[in-house]
């Protein structure tokens, strides 16, 4: 972009001054248009670069260990969780056998509002889970993206092998919101959540063992409990109003 000033005009008499003023005005307009056009092109180029960089970053970044600070503390739970069986069209119920309450959570790992729900309610639910007060029925619907579906499959792979690991993995997925979740990224995150992974877990993840289950629970939920979208929460079968509820009121609704 040129910084050269518009050339000065010679003025001789009133008529000459008028002509000079008109020519100077026209020159100024042409310069403004030229400068605006160059600035616009620069802005477009920068925006395209930012979008391209973000696309590359979201598909290649690896979850950082520092993000795991917000993951569940259930690894220190004093009560052992009951074994989990992955069953078609049903959620993953995790907790002690025969807890007095069941909190059902319908979510998606690509859902920003679900991540907000976890920020607000997650620690309260984990504390209640670890105390044996509730079981949590997880419905990771996996419809938001292909990466979310892969994360949901991994959640099922973890739950049937080590329920406490599954709870921590669930929290870690939301702590790393925005990741595309390739199988490599899932395995990298899993190894940070738990250094020694359960036998058969990696094969289950990379082979998409529970992909049909992920599709099945979505088909059930989208016309039922999660017909209004995610997150959706039920306490002992009764819908919990997230528009007015709080972590304290959820806890107060338990029996």
Percent of residues in the chain assigned helix, strand, coil, to nearest 5: 55, 10, 40
Beta partners for residue 138, in sequence order: 92, 105
- What CA dihedral angle connects 167, 83, 211 and 201, to 10 degrees? 80
Contact, 202 vs 107, CB < 8 A? no
pLDDT tens digits for range 65-94: 434 434 454 444 458 999 999 999 999 999
pLDDT value for 79 = 82
CA 240 to the chain's CA centroid = 22
120 Cβ contact partners less than 8 Å away, ≥ 6 residues apart = 246, 247
* CA–CA distance, 228 with 226 (Å, rounded to integer): 5
pLDDT value for 67 = 42
pTM value is 0.73
Q: Give me the count of residues in the chain.
A: 255
pLDDT value for 121 = 98
pLDDT value for 39 = 56
DSSP string, 18-50: HHHHHHHHHHHHHHHHHHHHHHHHHHHHHHHHH
Q: How do the domains of the chain map onto residue ranges?
A: 1-60, 65-252
Q: Domain 65-252's class?
A: alpha beta
* CA–CA distance, 132 with 95 (Å, rounded to integer): 7
34-46: b (≥16 Cβ within 10 Å) or e: eeeeeeeeeeeee
Burial of 126 (0-12, 13-18, 19+ CB in 10 A): buried
- Please list the ranges in the chain whose pLDDT falls under 70: 1-78
78-104: b (≥16 Cβ within 10 Å) or e: eeebeebebeeeebbbbbbeebebbbb
Residue 255's H or E segment, with its range, is none
Which residue spans within 180-242 are E strands per DSSP? 232-235, 238-239
pLDDT value for 105 = 98
Burial of 205 (0-12, 13-18, 19+ CB in 10 A): buried
Of the candidates 191, 150, 156, the residue with the CA atom closest to the CA atom of residue 68? 191
- 58 in helix, strand or coil? helix
């Amino acid at each position: 972009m040129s910084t050269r000033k518009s050339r000065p005009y010679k003025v001789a008499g009133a008529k000459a001054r008028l002509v000079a003023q008109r020519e100077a005005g026209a020159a100024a307009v042409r310069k403004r248009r030229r400068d605006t056009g160059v600035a616009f092109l620069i802005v477009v180029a920068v925006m395209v670069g930012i979008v391209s960089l973000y696309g590359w970053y979201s598909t290649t970044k690896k979850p950082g260990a520092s993000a795991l600070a917000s993951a569940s503390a259930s690894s220190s739970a004093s009560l052992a969780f009951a074994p989990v069986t992955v069953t078609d069209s049903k959620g993953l119920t995790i907790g002690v056998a025969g807890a007095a309450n069941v909190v059902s959570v319908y979510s998606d790992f690509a859902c920003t509002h679900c991540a907000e729900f976890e920020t607000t309610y997650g620690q309260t639910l984990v504390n209640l889970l670890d105390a044996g007060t509730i079981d949590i029925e997880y419905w990771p619907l996996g419809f938001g993206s292909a990466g979310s579906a892969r994360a949901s499959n991994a959640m099922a792979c973890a739950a049937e092998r080590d329920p406490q690991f599954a709870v921590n993995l669930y929290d870690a997925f939301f702590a790393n919101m925005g990741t595309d979740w390739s199988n490599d990224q899932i395995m990298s995150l899993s190894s940070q959540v738990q250094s020694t992974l359960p036998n058969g877990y990696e094969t289950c993840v990379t082979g998409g063992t529970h992909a049909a289950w992920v599709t099945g629970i979505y088909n059930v939920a989208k016309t039922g409990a999660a017909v209004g979208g995610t997150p959706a929460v039920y306490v002992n079968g009764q819908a919990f109003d997230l528009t007015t509820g709080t972590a304290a009121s959820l806890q107060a609704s338990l029996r």
